[in-house]
Structure 1
C-alpha cells in the first residue's frame, strides 16, 4: 500500500535521509542502493532483524518474497546470510509515496511518526561488534601469494583468489549517506550500496560484477569478470593489452560458469566476450552469459540452482571450489565477512526481476575507521609485488570517499 512520503517541503533526497534516520532510530535493518545506469537510488527497510530470512539463497522467481539479499562469503553465526523483506520501500524515481507491504501494515503509524520527526544532523548507523579483522602487511600478503602459487604448482588447486583487509581512519564528520551519493556520481555503471543491519554493521560499496540477474523479459544473465589493469587516461579500453596471466585468469572463471551450466544440463546459452570493460579507474576482462528462461523447462529452479552453484564464484574463491576454499580457510588469516559475498534486490522492481551483485570494491564502517577489502586471482604466473599493487588499485575505488 502506498503511503504519502510526507515531510512537506523536503525534496526527494531529503525524504530519503528522513526515512533512513527513522529506520536507524528504531533499530531496523535497511539497504539503500542505486542500480547501474539508474538516475535515482532506492531504500528498503525491514520491520526488524527477527523478520529477516536467513540461511537460504533467495528464490529467483516471481512467486518469491520481495526483498534485499545480503550474503557473506561464508555463512556463519556472526556473518549470517540475510534476506531483508521489503516491508518499507521508497524509490526516488517515484518520490511522492512510500510503499508499505501488506504484511507490515502495523508499521504505518510508526512511519507517520518517523516522517513527523526532524532529521538529526548525525545518523546512528549500526556497527558490528565482531573483532576487527587482521590487516595484512605487504610482506604478509606477498607470502600468501607465494603460498597460493606453490599450491597451484603442486596441483592442489587450479586457481585461488587471495585477499586482504586494510584499515583507514574516517575523516571528521564522515557521513555514510553522503559517501553513498558520492560513489553513485563517481561510478555510474556500478551497483552502489549502503547496507546497515543491527549486529552485522554498516557496509558501503560500488560493485562492477553481476552474479545473477533475471530481467523482466525472462533473461538470466551472469558474467565472468577477472583480470585487472589501470585505466590510462585518454586510451580507450579496447586498446588495452593483456598479459597471459590475466587472460588465463579470466578464462578459468568463464570455464567455471560453463561447468555450472553443464551440471544443470543446460546447453542453450549465449556467450559474448571476452571484452575489455572499464570499472572506475580500472579495466577488466569480461564475458557475458545469457539464458532465455522461456526455453528452460523449470525456469524458477534454474536461477536459484545457478545461484547456489555460482556462489562463491571462482573469481572470488578459486577452483576447484572445495580445495580453494580450504586453502583460504587455512592461509588467508582473516574473516572476509560480507566482502566477496553477494547482494541486491529480488522482486522489488517487479515480480520475477532480480539483480544480484558480487560484493566487491566495498568497505565496512566502524565508529572511527573503515575496513577496506580487495583480492587478486592467482595463477602459476602471479608475481607477489604485482598482486599487492593490484589490491592497492582496487581499494582506491571505494577509498575515494575517505579523502
Structure 2
C-alpha cells in the first residue's frame, strides 16, 4: 500500500467519490474515536455469500433478503482513509486511481450522495397496516404457527435544506458513542446511514469471535440498575439467545464464553443483551465467522422463530420491501479485524427525502398499539440527527 502525503478530509474523500461515481463506505466502530472510510475504484459491487476469511479488505453491505433488486454488495478497499492518511491498495487500478486523485484536488463543493435506484417504487407501511399485521401475527403465534415474528415499517420524511451526510455522520458519532456508525453510498443502489447497536459477527485483532443476542426494548432510564423488564421482553431476548446457542450446536462448537443478559443503553432506548465470545486461538475453527454469518442471518432479532414461518409471515404481511434495512454491513479484514453489524436505526437517503426504518418483536403478549409506539421510539434515533439541520 502507498500513502498519499497530501492532507484530505473525510468530506473531501466522500465528495470526490460521489463526483466520480465511486462506491464509498464510512464507519466508526463503537467506543472508538476514529472515523474510517474506503472507496472502490472499479464498478463491480455485487458478490455472492460473503466468505469472511478469504475476502480482501473492504466493506460488506447486504440486504435482509437477497433478490435481483437487492443483492449482497462488497466495496473493495482500493483507497482507505484511517482518519488521518489516505492509503492506496497495492492492486488499485492505476488509471481510475489517477482520475480519483484529480477529483480530490478539484475540491468538490456539493454535498450530494448516490440517489436510490428505485426512488419511485418505495412504498410505506401505514399505521393501520402495521397494527393489522401485528394483530394477525399475535393470532398466528397463539395458533402455534410460530413463536415470534419481527414486523417492521418505514416512513418517508423531508430532508432539511442544509442536510450534509458527513455532518450527519459526525453528529451520530457524537450522539451514539456505543453504536456502530455508518454511511454507505453506492452508484445505482443508493445511500444509507445509521447507528446500529447490534453486532452480527465480529472477529477482532486478537482473533476473538463475538456475536450477541439483543432484544427487548423500553425507553431509557437514568440508571440501568432501575430498569424493570416485563416477561414479554425477557422471553423475547431468551429466544434470540436460544437461537445463537442452536447455531453453535449445529457447528458442534462447545467452547464459548457467555455473559448476560444485562441491560444496555442504545441512544434513547434500553435493550437486554447477552454476549457470546470464542477465542479462535484456543479453538481450532478457522471458518467460524463465515459459518455463523450464514446460520445467523437473518437473526431471530430481525426475523423471528422458527425462522422459516416467521420469514414467510413477514413477506406476506409486512406490506413493503425492507431492502437493506435489517440486513448487515461492516468492514472486513481491516486493521481492526472484521465487524459486521445488523443494519438497524437507519435511514435511506433519497434526493429530497429520507426513509426511516424500525421494527418490533411480536410475541403472544404483544399489544399492537404499544408495538407501533416502539417503532416510533426507534425512528427517533434518526429523526434527532435530522433535526440538527433545522
CA distance in 2, matches of 1:218, 1:171: 43
Question: Do the aligned partners of 1:205 and 1:361 also contact (CA within 8 Å) in 2?
Answer: yes
- 1:385 aligned residue: 369
- 2:88 aligned residue: 100
Q: Does 1:211 align with 2:200?
A: yes
CA distance in 2, matches of 1:390, 1:124: 30
Q: CA deviation at 1:150?
A: 0.9
Cα distance, 1:362–1:5 mapped onto 2, change above 3 Å? farther
- Count matched residues: 386
- Tell me, what secondary structure is at the counterpart of 1:155? coil
- 1:359 aligned residue: 343
- 1:197 aligned residue: 186
- 1:148 aligned residue: 137
Q: Does 1:35 align with 2:35?
A: no
Q: Does 1:323 align with 2:309?
A: yes
Q: Which runs of 5+ in 1 are unaligned?
A: none
- 1:167 aligned residue: 156
CA distance in 1, matches of 2:111, 2:224: 41
Q: CA deviation at 1:5?
A: 4.7
CA distance in 2, matches of 1:118, 1:60: 35
CA distance in 2, matches of 1:212, 1:90: 23
Cα distance, 1:199–1:355 mapped onto 2, change above 3 Å? same
Q: CA deviation at 1:132?
A: 4.0
After TM superposition, the score normalised by the length of structure 2 is: 0.96
Q: CA deviation at 1:154?
A: 1.1
Deviation string, structure 1 residues 153-184 (Cα, Å, up to 9, x no partner): 11111110000011111111211111111111
- 2:282 aligned residue: 295
Q: Does 1:47 align with 2:38?
A: no
From 309, 319, 328, the counterpart of 2:295? 309
From 40, 44, 49, the counterpart of 1:56? 49
Deviation string, structure 1 residues 62-91 (Cα, Å, up to 9, x no partner): x43111010000011111111111111001
Q: CA deviation at 1:286?
A: 0.3
From 352, 357, 379, the counterpart of 1:395? 379
CA distance in 2, matches of 1:164, 1:46: 32
CA distance in 2, matches of 1:244, 1:298: 36
Question: Do the aligned partners of 1:49 and 1:197 also contact (CA within 8 Å) in 2?
Answer: no
- Tell me, what secondary structure is at the counterpart of 1:295? coil
CA distance in 1, matches of 2:163, 2:104: 24
Q: Does 1:334 align with 2:334?
A: no
Q: Does 1:18 align with 2:7?
A: no
- 2:6 aligned residue: 6
Q: Does 1:90 align with 2:81?
A: yes
The root-mean-square deviation of aligned C-alpha atoms, in Å, is 1.4
Deviation string, structure 1 residues 268-303 (Cα, Å, up to 9, x no partner): 11111000000001000000001121233332x111
- 1:238 aligned residue: 225
Question: Do the aligned partners of 2:205 and 2:335 also contact (CA within 8 Å) in 1?
Answer: no
Deviation string, structure 1 residues 210-267 (Cα, Å, up to 9, x no partner): 00110111111000000000013xx311210000000000000000000000010111
- Tell me, what secondary structure is at the counterpart of 2:102? helix
Q: Does 1:80 align with 2:71?
A: yes
Question: Do the aligned partners of 2:224 and 2:264 also contact (CA within 8 Å) in 1?
Answer: yes
Q: Does 1:285 align with 2:272?
A: yes
Question: Do the aligned partners of 2:46 and 2:71 also contact (CA within 8 Å) in 1?
Answer: no
- 2:61 aligned residue: 70
Question: Do the aligned partners of 1:207 and 1:359 also contact (CA within 8 Å) in 2?
Answer: yes
CA distance in 1, matches of 2:97, 2:24: 17
- 2:234 aligned residue: 247
Question: Do the aligned partners of 1:17 and 1:119 also contact (CA within 8 Å) in 2?
Answer: no
Cα distance, 1:326–1:124 mapped onto 2, change above 3 Å? closer
CA distance in 2, matches of 1:5, 1:176: 26
Question: Do the aligned partners of 2:52 and 2:290 also contact (CA within 8 Å) in 1?
Answer: yes
Q: CA deviation at 1:105?
A: 4.3
Question: Do the aligned partners of 1:230 and 1:282 also contact (CA within 8 Å) in 2?
Answer: yes
Q: CA deviation at 1:53?
A: 4.5
Question: Do the aligned partners of 2:63 and 2:70 also contact (CA within 8 Å) in 1?
Answer: yes
